[in-house]
Amino acid sequence: MKKIIVPVSYMGSGSSAVTDLISEFKDVNNEYGYFEYVFLHCPGGVFDLEDKLLNGNNILRSDEAIKNFLNTMKQLYDKKYWWVGNYKYKINEKFYSRTEQYIKELTDFSLNSYWYYQENTNLKMYFKLIVNKIVKFITFGKVKLKRPLLYNTMNLAYPSKEKFYAITKKYIYDILEMFDDSDNDILFDQLLLPYNLFRIDNYFNDDLKVIVVERDPRDVFLQNKYIYSKTNNIVPFSCDVDEFCKQYRMIREMEVISNSSKILRIRFEDLVYKYDKTKQIIMKFLGYNEKDHINPKGKFDPSKSIKNTQLFKKEEYVKEGKIIEKNLKEYLYDFEDEERN
């Protein structure tokens, strides 16, 4: 069975290492490397649509949810120089037409009506409103022009959970099939995020394999602040160590942990320091054999990655490392255990 393999991480915690490792196996399609396909979890994406249509839905919420989703998908499809976009090239020319079909399948009613959301003014509407007032004034109220709106037709959807998940699951699989219609396993870095893995059993079959990569927050902070920043690749963690500790704890504690059999959780450090053992765990999870590993250490070499661990032991980083150690101790990696072994 063709597998959908998704390495995910907590921003800078090492999913690319797993992407590199799995790319070394035969019959794995990783055409776009570390490109992050965000259409499921981005603001205005599939999961936002789920939340709006299945929780607290109403006439206005339904219409806004659909319009926002279509607008977001159109931007992902069209915007060539938006680094998460250009789906027309990086997925398929049929991506947006399939998206429109998906929304038609979800939509229950299309009304030629409006609510205050459509009356929200922009510059073009402002001038139309002025013209309307002038016409009304000079005709003594006998002529009233049509009210200017952002758009005219309201699209409304009130799906049951069963209907929403069935239609959306078919949509997602149709999109993923556009990448590769062969029997090769396909690799998508960050197609999902740790924070939305509680949803996956509603959307995916057992062909989904998610590998969550966790990393010592000391190295995450130090690498982000002192290394990524030099190449403008910084991730949105605070570079103030005290604020980082608060932010990191908050987002980790907000996560709804899923025990789905589709998920494997590993430590980045284990992949580096216990390479052979951790590789065997990953291969078992994916159903791979050693003979499938046709390019060992060709893309992921633990002897190189080890240089990016234990940065907090460097003299210039010790102070900040100690603050993180004190405040985020349950997320630290036991490097002393490695040294004992």
Q: Does domain 1-31+184-341 have CATH number 3.40.50.300?
A: yes
Question: How confident is the model at residue 340, as a pLDDT?
Answer: 43
pTM surpassing 0.85? yes
pLDDT by residue for the chain (341 residues), tens digit each? 589 999 999 988 889 999 999 999 999 988 777 788 999 999 999 999 999 999 999 988 999 999 999 999 999 999 999 999 999 999 999 999 999 999 999 999 988 887 777 777 766 766 666 666 666 667 766 666 666 666 778 899 999 999 999 999 999 999 999 987 778 999 999 999 999 999 999 999 999 999 999 999 999 999 999 988 877 777 889 999 999 999 999 999 999 999 999 999 999 999 999 999 999 999 999 999 999 999 999 999 999 999 989 999 999 999 999 999 999 999 999 997 655 45
Q: Which helix (H) or strand (E) holds 214?
A: strand 208-214
Sign of the dihedral through C-alpha 66, 68, 69, 71: positive
70/103 Cα distance (integer angstroms): 8
Question: How confident is the model at residue 115, as a pLDDT?
Answer: 79
In terms of phi and psi (left: phi > 0; alpha: psi -120 to 50; beta: otherwise), the region of 289 is beta
**248, 252, 253, 254 alpha-carbon torsion, rounded to 10°:** 110
Segments of the chain assigned to CATH 3.40.50.300: 1-31+184-341
Where do runs of H (alpha helix) occur along 178-291? 217-226, 241-254, 268-273, 275-286
Where do runs of H (alpha helix) occur along 107-157? 123-138
